[in-house]
Amino acid sequence: MLRLANERPTTPWETLTTLAVPRTVIDAAKLAALVGRIRASDRVKPSVREKSADELLDHYGLANGPVLTNLGVLLIGTTVGRTQLGTAPVVQAIKVDERNTKISKLVWDDYTLSPLELVDAVWEAVPDFRESYELPDGLLRTTVPAFEEAVVRELLVNALVHRPYTQRGDIFLNLRPDQLEIVNPGRLPLGVTPQNILHASRRRNDGLARVFHDIGLMEREGSGFDLMYDRLLATGRGAPVAMEGVDSVHVTIPRRVIHPAIIRLIAEADKNYQLTQRERITLGLLAQSESLSAGELASKLELPDPGALREWVARMIEIGLVERRGQTKATRYSVPSQLLRSAGVDMRTTLARVLPHRLRALIIEDLERFPDSSAPEIHQRVGREIPPRSFRRSLEELVTSGQVLATGERRWRRYRAAPSIGQGKSVGR
């Protein structure tokens, strides 16, 4: 009930005027910068760009009559005003080494900067955001930034726009050797969870989101996670990971490139076929996995069921960027091996894509050596990476055809190769 009251107050925090700060008590430089960005934005209607600075205060809810609202104090007020708010954002950037020992720390806690200015200030001040490394690209080498600027900025914008301004708490940027973690106070907005964050869109602070959108710092209709998925996967990195704590939200993005050649694969595919953002995300996920079942892919894309995959993969299947094998629950998706080879993606060979007839042969060979085995024992020896559904289906097909004999029920069920099979030549693995 406390969370519901906090999320759905009678009067939004942004519109409150409890500080009673006169609308003339502002930071003139901040107002001029904001007005300049609004008038230069192509997202704003001409009728809005033509308004005077004083009229813009009312238009964006920065003032209410003779006084500034909380939103106005936050964005164009003085340092004293932001301090008096009590919940203006404080940002800490902390860098640690492999042993979790703190190396350096940067803090923005003097309230001199508005949220609009904090995004640029943090990006420019953290040295790690300027680092890059080289990856081999044939006879040449490609320079890859340690962190994608668009991704970091989107994380900062999300932290500033979607945090609850009714409670205190600092925003932490935890820089580790292999990742960046942003910790934001408060929980996710009602209706948003780590399982649907790629698609859900809920604005906690409408007025702040409107200003950020109009000056081009964010997409108002989404959380920006689709952009982060796109940029990270297109640069051969893993997808962002979101977790919700008791009173905080943690988002982690990887620093290191997992598969450098995937950068070339997606770039070439995008150049030749003008992929949509959804298609680039899907191709990146599949290129980093040997294959994914329909259920696994739907889960990674945070879709309600495998049936929703069609608009994500249909065109890529038609043009040959993705191949589909199996039907219904046994459907699996992967990037054709010839495309991976041509791009130089060197994937570890596993049994995840083993063909059905080959899997049946492996099961028979295993039972010739280890008769009266349970299904989990067979699965363990043949290969745990084989999808459970595929393994169980092949095993039952062998029982139905009489090539494998089964005794017992449920947990006591045991299998052995039929005598006619066992007398024949075994199939080498």
* CATH level 3 topology of 261-343: Arc Repressor Mutant, subunit A (1.10.10)
Say which residues have a Cβ less than 8 Å from residue 224's Cβ, sequence separation at least 6.
154, 157, 158, 218
How would DSSP label each residue in 24-86?
Answer: T-S-HHHHHHHHHHHHT-TTS-HHHHTS-HHHHHHHTTSEETTEE-HHHHHHHS-HHHHHHHS
> In the 8-state DSSP scheme, what is residue 373?
B
Q: What is the pLDDT of residue 167?
A: 86
3-state SS, residue 270 = helix
CA–CA gap between residue 222 and residue 25 (Å, rounded) = 34
Q: What is the pLDDT of residue 41?
A: 94
Instruction: Answer positive or negative: Cα dihedral of 187, 188, 189, 193.
Output: negative
CA–CA gap between residue 167 and residue 155 (Å, rounded) = 20
Structure-token pair, residue 300: 């990674």
282, 313 contact by CB (below 8 A): yes
Q: What is the pLDDT of residue 179?
A: 94
How would DSSP label each residue in 139-192?
Answer: TEEEEEESS-HHHHHHHHHHHHHHS-TTS---EEEEEETTEEEEEEES-PPTT-
269, 234 contact by CB (below 8 A): no
**Number of alpha carbons in the 13 Å side-chain half-sphere of residue 273:** 19
Q: What is the pLDDT of residue 136?
A: 65
Residue 258 dihedral angles phi and psi, to the nearest 5°? -80, -50
Mean pLDDT by 10 residues, the chain (429 residues): 60 92 96 96 94 96 96 97 95 93 95 96 94 71 85 93 90 95 89 81 86 86 76 89 90 86 89 93 89 89 89 94 84 88 66 68 89 91 81 90 91 88 44
What's the distance, Cα to Cα, between the start and end of the chain in Å? Answer: 60
165, 87 contact by CB (below 8 A): yes
Domain boundaries, the chain: 2-85, 91-254, 261-343, 356-422
* The CATH number of the domain covering residues in 356-422: 1.10.10.10
CATH topology match: 91-254 vs 356-422: no
Q: What is the pLDDT of residue 211?
A: 95
* CATH level 3 topology of 91-254: Heat Shock Protein 90 (3.30.565)
